[in-house]
Amino acid sequence: MLKSLKKRESDLAKSNRQLEILSNGIFKSGELPTFKKKIAETNQFPLKAKKLEILQINVGYMCNQVCDHCHVDAGPDRKEIMTRETMQQCLNVIKNTGAHTLDLTGGAPEMNPDFRWFVEEAAKAGIKDFIVRSNLTIIRANKKYYDLPEFFKKHNVHVVSSMPHWTRGKTDKQRGNGVFDKSIKALQELNAVGYGMPGSDLRLDLVYNPSGAFLPGDQASMEKDFKKALMEDFSIQFHNLFAITNLPIARFLDFLIASENYEEYMYQLVEAYNPSAVANVMCTNTLSISWDGYLYDCDFNQMLALPVNSKVKHISEYNEELLEGRNIVISQHCYGCTAGAGSSCQGSVA
């Protein structure tokens, strides 16, 4: 199994090295405009946080998979895990915030030993949309996870799962051998308890991201293709497909550099820049919380160790008024959120 960049002691495991790459070369020479310059052309700099709507909590970088494109650099060798104490600090905020969506992510969030306790407690807060980002294979990884579909159902969790393609070859190429078969089995089990069925309140959405150095196609037509193929081949149903652009950070950046596609990919992102996507990028209504409780504008900034530009840095000192209206911290990776129809954890934004 592939190891994380961190375990391999790769230079790219260091966030400052990634930021150097994103700031130098074609951007330093002026061959391509920086993201700051680009959004300033339409008077959108500085990008400002609006009212908080989504709290995204990363409960740890441990994962049972080591996908090629992972922006978290997650894997079984990552030991960063949110403690119950930090979870409790998050719960204090969840109960008092006006955010309508709680989004648990990782790694594989289910691998955090306090995951179930946290879900049970968070579900009591009655937040409108409670998302768990599940990689699907975790449901089949070990007997102790087999009941996850029932557990999700009990707490009315909205399941959002990565599924890069409806074919075995493309899925396994990006996510590892055997991932496709386990994902199909997990989807069938989620369907069996009611997830993803037409008219069901048990929401099951899939996330597509490209397997190479190219941008995703049209979300609506891909959704149709996914629905048709998964139904015909495996009788699987789901609600929506979110098409997400790979951001040039962590293992996807490593892939771009190793395959000599970095500059070409940055050109694609800049050429596909859509100024109308800027107003809706997810950092404008989201706050990302890391496994150790620090605050970031988004999960990508978290991985680049770019903390929020605010006096408030940690969930224990959370203050909605001080965080609202803050300037968002940006760099060239942000072009991944504004290319074409735009991209966020919920798919297209424009």
Interacting residue ranges for ligand SF4, rule: CB under 6 A:
63, 65-67, 70, 72, 74-75, 106-108, 135, 162, 281-283, 297-298, 300-301, 328, 330, 333-334, 337
Distance separating alpha carbons of residues 100 and 285, to the nearest angstrom: 11
Nearest distance from C-beta of residue 310 to ligand SF4, angstroms = 14
Enumerate the H helices of 32-178 as residue ranges.
35-40, 84-96, 115-124, 138-141, 148-154, 168-175
Distance separating alpha carbons of residues 37 and 41, to the nearest angstrom: 6
Distance separating alpha carbons of residues 307 and 326, to the nearest angstrom: 12
Contact 209/245 with Cβ under 8 angstroms? yes
Nearest distance from C-beta of residue 198 to ligand SF4, angstroms = 27
Cα separation values, 150 from 8, 139, 155, 194, Å: 37, 11, 9, 10
Nearest distance from C-beta of residue 231 to ligand SF4, angstroms = 24
- Pick between residue 230 and residue 282 the one whose CB is nearest to ligand SF4: 282
Nearest distance from C-beta of residue 298 to ligand SF4, angstroms = 3
Nearest distance from C-beta of residue 201 to ligand SF4, angstroms = 26
User: Where is 104: in which H helix or E strand?
Assistant: strand 101-105
- Pick between residue 86 and residue 162 the one whose CB is nearest to ligand SF4: 162
- Pick between residue 70 and residue 269 the one whose CB is nearest to ligand SF4: 70
- Pick between residue 91 and residue 168 the one whose CB is nearest to ligand SF4: 168
